[in-house]
Structure 1
Amino acid sequence: MTPDALIPSHPAPPSLRLPHPLALTRAGLSGFPSPAQDYEGRTLDLNERLVKRPSASFFMTVTGDSMETLGIQDGDLLLIDRSIDPRPGHILVALVEGEITVKRYQLIDKRPYLCSANPDYPPIPVEDLGCQVWGVVRSVIHDYPV
C-alpha cells in the first residue's frame, strides 16, 4: 500500500463533540428502545477517542490491496502514531527503499519482516533494506458507499 495523501494531525485539535446515544441491547428481548434514549445528551469527540498523542500523530490515505484481509482497504484513512515503539504484530507505516508502505511487522525465523496480508506480496526483510519506520497504525477509518 502506498499513501495517496499524508495529513498531519493538528497539535491541539479543537473539540468537536457529536451525538453519541447510549445503545442498550439485551439478549432475549425484542422491541424497540425508547426514542428518548437518543436525546440523553451523550457526545463523542473522535479526537479524544482516537488521537492519543496529537503531536506524534498523522493521517494517511492508502491505496492498494495488500492489507485488505486485515481490514485496510483502498481509500481508507489511517491514523498513525509515531510515539509507539513497534512490536511484532503491529501494522506499521514505513519507508522502504524510497517507497512508503503499510505492512504488518512480524518475526520469521527470529528475523524482522514487513508482511502483507495478501499472499500475492512476499514478506520484505527489514535487515537487508533501507527501512525507516514512520509509525504504528492506531486506527483505520473506512467509509461505506451509501
Structure 2
Amino acid sequence: MRTEYLGRVDESAAPVPLPLAADAVRAGFPSPADDYVETELDLVAHLVQHPSATFFVRAKGDSMESDGIYDGDLLIVDRSLEPRDGDVLIIAVDGELTCKRLGRIGHRPYLLPGNPNYQPIPLENVECHVWGVVTHNVHALRCGVGR
C-alpha cells in the first residue's frame, strides 16, 4: 500500500466542535434514541494526541484491507511515537513510502501486509526510515464520499 502525504495538523486553526449524542448507538438491535446533545466534540482534539508531530496521508492500494485500511482512506500519523510490534507504520523502504504493520517472523523484523496477495517485507539489510505510527484511520462508509 502506497501513501500520499497530505499535510500536517494546523495547530492555529480554530476548533470545529460537532454535536455528540448523549447515548451510545447500538450496533445490534435498534433502540429509541434520546433527542438531545450531551456535549460538543472537536475531532482533532479527540484523534490527535501530539498535534505538532501529526500529519495526514491518503492510502493507495489494497495491501492493508484485512487491517481495515482501504484505497483512499485518510490515515492520521504520529511521528512522535516509538514503533512497536503490531503498530501500523508509514515507512520509507528503499526510498518509497508504504503502509504496513510492523511484526516479526521468527526473530527477524518484517513489514506485514494485510492482504495475503502480498509478501512480507524483510527489514534486515534494507534502507528504511519510519515516518510515523498510524493512530487512526478515517474512511467513508458511503461510496464516493470523502475521497
Q: Same fold (TM over 0.5)?
A: yes
Question: Are the counterparts in 2 of residues 12 and 54 from structure 1 also a CA contact under 8 Å?
Answer: no
Indicate conservation of the 8 Å contact 2:90/2:130, yes or no: yes
For 1:106 and 1:34, how far apart are their aligned partners in 2?
44
Residue 15, structure 1, aligned to residue 15, structure 2: yes
**Pairing partner for 1:124 from 109, 112, 121:** 121
> 1:114 touches 1:124 (CA, 8 Å); kept in 2?
yes
Q: Give the Å deviation of 1:39.
A: 3.7
Residue 141 of structure 1: aligned partner: 138
In 1, the alpha carbon distance for the partners of 2:99 and 2:92 equals 9
Q: Which position in structure 2 is the counterpart of 1:55?
A: 52
Number of residue equivalences: 141
- Asked if the contact 1:91/1:103 (under 8 Å) is kept, the reply is yes
Alignment of 1:1-146 (within 5 A): 1-24=1-24, 32-35=32-35, 38-40=36-38, 42-145=39-142
Deviation of residue 110 (structure 1)?
A: 0.9
**Structure 1 residues 24, 86: CA separation in 2 closer, same or farther (over 3 Å shift)?**
closer
For the aligned residues, what is the CA RMSD? 2.0
Question: For 1:81 and 1:115, how far apart are their aligned partners in 2?
Answer: 19
Are the counterparts in 2 of residues 5 and 62 from structure 1 also a CA contact under 8 Å?
no
**Equivalent residues of 2:63, 2:118 under 8 A apart:** yes
Q: Which moved more, 1:12-21 or 1:42-51?
A: 12-21
Residues 85 and 34 of structure 1: is their aligned pair in 2 closer, same or farther, counting only changes over 3 Å? closer
TM-score by length of 1: 0.88
Cα distance in 2, alignment partners of residues 63 and 10 from structure 1: 24
Deviates more, 1:106-115 or 1:5-14: 5-14
Q: TM-score, normalised by structure 2?
A: 0.87
